[in-house]
Structure 1
Amino acid sequence: MTFSRIKSWFLVSALLLLILTNHHVVAQRTFTNPIKNSGPDPWVLQKDGWYYYMNTTGRNLTLWKTRNLADLNTAESKIIYTPPAGKPYSRELWAPEIHSFNGRWYVYFSADSLNNLSHRVWVIENTSPDPMQGEWTMKGKIGDKGDHWAIDMSVIDFDGQLYAAWSGWEGPTNGRQDIYLAKLKNPWTIDGDRVKISQPDQPWEQHGDVPQEWQKNGEIPKIYVNEGPEFLRHDNKLFIVYSANACWLDYSLGLLTYEGKGNLLDPKSWTKSAQAVFTQAPENGVWAPGHGGFFRSSSRDGGLGQDWMIYHANPSATDGCGNKRAPHIQPFTWNADGSPNFGKPVPKTPMPIP
């Protein structure tokens, strides 16, 4: 092959590469938040290239399965569990989360039998390789020795040991929800005492004015809230991202940090960030973001994927705690000190899919 032919071959190859690259850019799929019109307390688990999604329905436990969260509206879905009437977990099913431990599937959810005062956390199990198949069985109530009020439990396997975090009351209704942590003996049993690692003690966490109509029904005038704790690990650090203030006000995300040293169950091992780490962005049409969760996108090239967050938010300032809360997703980065940088809620404009 002559030099001129070699040169021509390289030029043609470069041109084809440019055309293919430009075609890829043009063909890049996008999505626009919210990814679903309604979905309070959203949760995502990415496993083996599949995304498993859940949110509060109030009546049952519904599971969605999709290859990409951008397709959530058309994804396969199934009611995997409807509690029998009259059971202590038959009403007000909140904040379901699906997890996978030791080859089995577990869903944690909050429920009651009469009213909010009886809310506790319950666990169901499925031994099928596919959680959309097989039978889900009730493992029972998961709670501390004192059987305190509890909601919003999440679980993590941290270096071979299971831990649970949730929101609870210190005693009877006292107008304050705290974050508790405990070690687990197995996926449905707490081992030892619960430990309080956070309470709403910062000024930015104390915007808990209760609406006047609620006060007429006997509610106390203020409720200070720490709830919706979610684990997030990065290198040797463990974070708990929680929701503060109230879903009917300026819901925001706060951050607890465990530096990887000391006893995980010692409250002194946790540091609370002085300010909220994720707040509403009215300029982008996003109000009251809360109940944040985290997942890594399914890499298409065998890499590690990208870090993403999911949260629910309202489309206006007056939508409160109802079904207008819809799931939003967006990527996030890490600061130089290893802490998460969530930025702010992104505008409702097209962005690349996970």
Structure 2
Amino acid sequence: MGKLVFRRSYIVSLMALMLSCSETKKATDYPPPDKVTTFYNPLLGSGPDPWVYKKDGSFYYMHTMVNSIAIWKTRAISELGKAPVKTVWTPPASGNNTKNIWAPELHFLQGKWYLYYTAGATTNLATQRCFVLENPNPDPTTGSWTDKGKLADPLGDYFAIDGTILEYKDKLYFIWSGQISGTDISQRIYIAEMENPWTLKSSRVQLSFPQYDWEKKGSAVNEGPEVLKNPAGNVFVVYSGSNCATDDYGLGMLRLKENGDPLNAADWTKSPVPVFTKSINNNVFGPGHNGFFKSRDDKEDWIIYHANVQSGQGCGGTRSPRIQRFTWKSDGTPDFGEPVDVSQKLTKPSGESE
């Protein structure tokens, strides 16, 4: 696992720079949005692997914290720095989900909240797997979380990280980054149909592997898959390619053909070039591990991602969460543009200054 260990070699610096999760304010007591119409990136000083989920007028945010999972709750994602935060889960003292808590994602499915995350049994990264928690409370910052266990294909139970959900044609699918065997160290994108939000129904199917030069900088990596649907309902999976310790960490994209079968790899088309990359002019390096959300009034599409402000800062706690609006091209594909400089004043997402 030499390359994999290198890929996460900045974990020590990440732990040193973890944000404090003070519970001095309840997560339900957030302030109303400011009337100011602009904001600046980053949203927080540190926040690798950021995730946003919007429901009932509230934004729920989380990121990798290594030894716990916390949720920020706000009515204005552009004002995340003022939002209250609550630690909702800490790992058990022993077991297969005690170390290296990465990439948490919150999803509301079938009337309950589910929280998907990556963890390992030891500091050996080969033990990293995907897990899920369940909470029936309407507000995920309250109530209790039940451990629903590990999500894995028993015939392919190897290194697995960065799980996410695809809802498509009344079915649920789990998509993640994993390895083809216990000895292979290249990271691939896999998908499986789900029986329910905590159980896989089918065997895994490989959707993508690092085949282009831009996906192999530092090491061969496809990770952080995230689902995006255009206004017509077409499905995309946007993923991160190359080693996260490099400046060239960036986003690639898969597209499912119209009315395609997500479990049929032939129904997916892969872009040969990245769709979102570093900007030397704007001092944005290693932009990746993204998510997507609608503005508060559902009128705009936004991307959230992490990036560094200097070259060579790598895969640690210097990565900060940023957001920017994106649009759609005439062929239905997203146009993410260029990652913006943190000195650039941006207009808040629609509905946040009302």
Superposition TM-score tier, normalisation by shorter sequence: 0.7 to 0.9
2:126 to 107, 117, 125: 117
**Counterpart in 2 of 1:155?**
165
Give the structure-1-normalised TM-score: 0.86
2-side partners of 1:149 and 1:274: how far apart? 25
**Counterpart in 2 of 1:284?**
282
1-side partners of 2:85 and 2:126: how far apart? 31
Shift of 1:28: 4.3
Shift of 1:159: 2.2
Contact 1:92 1:112 in 2 (8 A): yes
Note the 1:193-204 alignment, pairs <5 A.
193-204=203-214
2-side partners of 1:145 and 1:174: how far apart? 17
**Counterpart in 2 of 1:17?**
none
1:314 to 298, 308, 316: 308
Shift of 1:328: 0.5
2-side partners of 1:353 and 1:90: how far apart? 38
Deviation >3 Å, runs of 4+: none
1-side partners of 2:233 and 2:133: how far apart? 30
Question: Secondary structure of the equivalent of 2:54?
Answer: strand
Instruction: Give the aligned residue type for 1:280.
Output: K
Q: Does 1:242 align with 2:239?
A: yes
Task: Name the larger-Rg structure.
Answer: 1
Q: Does 1:134 align with 2:143?
A: yes
Question: Secondary structure of the equivalent of 1:176?
Answer: coil
Q: Deviations over 1:42-81 (max 9, x none)?
A: 0000111100000000000101100011221110110000
Q: Deviations over 1:8-42 (max 9, x none)?
A: xxxxxxxxxxxxxxxxxxx6421101111000000
2-side partners of 1:261 and 1:102: how far apart? 23
Shift of 1:83: 1.2
What RMSD, in angstroms, separates the aligned Cα atoms of the two structures? 1.0
1-side partners of 2:316 and 2:260: how far apart? 40
Instruction: Give the aligned residue type for 1:350.
Output: K
1-side partners of 2:194 and 2:272: how far apart? 29
Structure with more contact order per residue of length (Cα contacts < 8 Å, sep ≥ 6): 2
1-side partners of 2:54 and 2:139: how far apart? 13
Shift of 1:263: 1.9
Q: Deviations over 1:247-299 (max 9, x none)?
A: 11110100000122332211100000010000001211110000011000111
1:227 to 223, 227, 234: 223
Note the 1:60-209 alignment, pairs <5 A.
60-114=68-122, 115-146=124-155, 147-208=157-218
Question: Secondary structure of the equivalent of 2:296?
Answer: coil
Shift of 1:174: 2.0
Q: Does 1:353 align with 2:348?
A: yes
Give the structure-2-normalised TM-score: 0.86
**Counterpart in 2 of 1:46?**
54
Question: Secondary structure of the equivalent of 1:332?
Answer: strand
Q: Deviations over 1:284-323 (max 9, x none)?
A: 1110000011000111xxxx32100000001111111000
**Counterpart in 1 of 2:25?**
none
Unaligned 5+ runs, structure 2:
1-34, 350-354
How many equivalent pairs are there? 310
2-side partners of 1:272 and 1:345: how far apart? 22
